[in-house]
């Protein structure tokens, strides 16, 4: 099966999208990755020369939803968060995978509940003390994702003791992916991806070492 843009998608993703894009793919991916985060972090700390202090978290696309789930549901101290073209409201992502499923998504009561649980604009109230957050939004990202990103920044600035610690940076010419799709093989870094890399690296250096 091909995506809406004509490019081929991985078969496993297509199968899950056909079964139920939200309940079989997007939500389980987000929840399982967040649930596995503490063990993954512990394994990294065993292998790398780092202490057990607060960390920085980075998530892009659906990984942005994972990072936000970790931020809202985990007890691990997080010092800074960076998101790149993130899935802030999973409901907005569902419509983007209709091309994979081959049909419009069929919403059920359970699907609506799940989408509400993975709406991180609505769940911003769960963050009693939001850490500094950088949101990088591609100028050519999907309009709904860009609107959700701006909404998250607005609500977090309203809750933060230092609103300037929540930053929104728009990258010209950046679409949703950071690499040519499907992105399954190693390839040279695109100029827009290099720009994102520089922005995020500089921001983390300032927030984690300052």
DSSP states of 49-67: S--SS-EEEEEETHHHHHH
Average pLDDT over residues 133-158: 96
Residue 128 banded pLDDT, cuts 50, 70, 90: low
What is the pLDDT, as a whole number, of residue 3? 39
Q: What is the pLDDT at residue 147?
A: 97
Alpha carbon distance 25, 23 (integer Å): 6
- Averaged pLDDT for residues 152-175: 93
Dump pLDDT digits (tens) for 57-79: 999 999 999 999 999 988 889 99
Q: Contact at 8 Å (CB) between 17 and 101?
A: yes
3-state class (DSSP) for residue 207? helix
Task: Give the torsion through C-alpha atoms of 139, 143, 148, 150, to 10 deg.
Answer: 40
**Which residues fall within 8 angstroms of residue 113, CB to CB, at 6 or more apart?**
none
> What per-residue confidence (pLDDT) applies to 2?
32
- Top-tier CATH class for 11-209: alpha beta
Q: Would you say 57 and 65 are in contact if contact means Cβ atoms under 8 Å apart?
A: no
φ/ψ (deg, to 5) at 5: -90, 5
Range picked from 11-20, 29-38, 50-59, 158-167 for highest mean pLDDT: 29-38
Overall average pLDDT of the 161-171 stretch: 94
Supply the pTM of this predicted model: 0.89
Q: Roughly how many angstroms between the first and final C-alpha of the chain, as a whole number?
A: 48
How far is residue 192's CA from residue 165's CA, in Å, rounded to a whole number? 24
CB 83 within 8 A of CB 67: yes
Confidence of residue 6 (pLDDT cuts 50, 70, 90): very low
Section 15-23 average pLDDT: 84
Res 142: pLDDT: 96
Give CA angle at 87 (37, 128), nearest 5°.
65
Q: What is the pLDDT of residue 153?
A: 96
Mean pLDDT over each residue of the chain, to the nearest integer:
88
């Amino acid at each position: 099966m091909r995506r809406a843009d004509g490019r081929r998608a991985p078969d496993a993703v297509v199968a899950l999208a056909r079964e139920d894009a939200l309940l079989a793919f997007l939500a389980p991916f987000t929840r399982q990755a967040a649930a596995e985060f503490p063990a993954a972090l512990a394994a990294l700390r065993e292998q790398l020369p780092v202490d057990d202090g607060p960390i920085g978290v980075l998530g892009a696309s659906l990984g942005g939803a994972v990072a936000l789930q970790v931020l809202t549901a985990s007890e691990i101290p997080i010092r800074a968060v960076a998101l790149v073209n993130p899935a802030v409201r999973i409901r907005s992502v569902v419509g983007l995978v209709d091309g994979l499923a081959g049909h419009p998504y069929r919403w059920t009561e359970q699907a609506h509940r799940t989408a509400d649980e993975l709406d991180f604009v609505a769940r911003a109230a769960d963050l009693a003390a939001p850490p500094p957050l950088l949101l990088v939004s591609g100028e050519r990202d999907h309009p709904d994702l860009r609107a959700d990103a701006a909404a998250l920044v607005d609500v977090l600035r309203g809750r933060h003791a230092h609103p300037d610690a929540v930053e929104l940076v728009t990258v010209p010419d950046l679409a949703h992916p950071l690499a040519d799709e499907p992105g399954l093989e190693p390839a040279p870094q695109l100029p827009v991806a290099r720009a994102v890399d520089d922005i995020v690296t500089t921001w983390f250096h300032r927030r984690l070492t300052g």
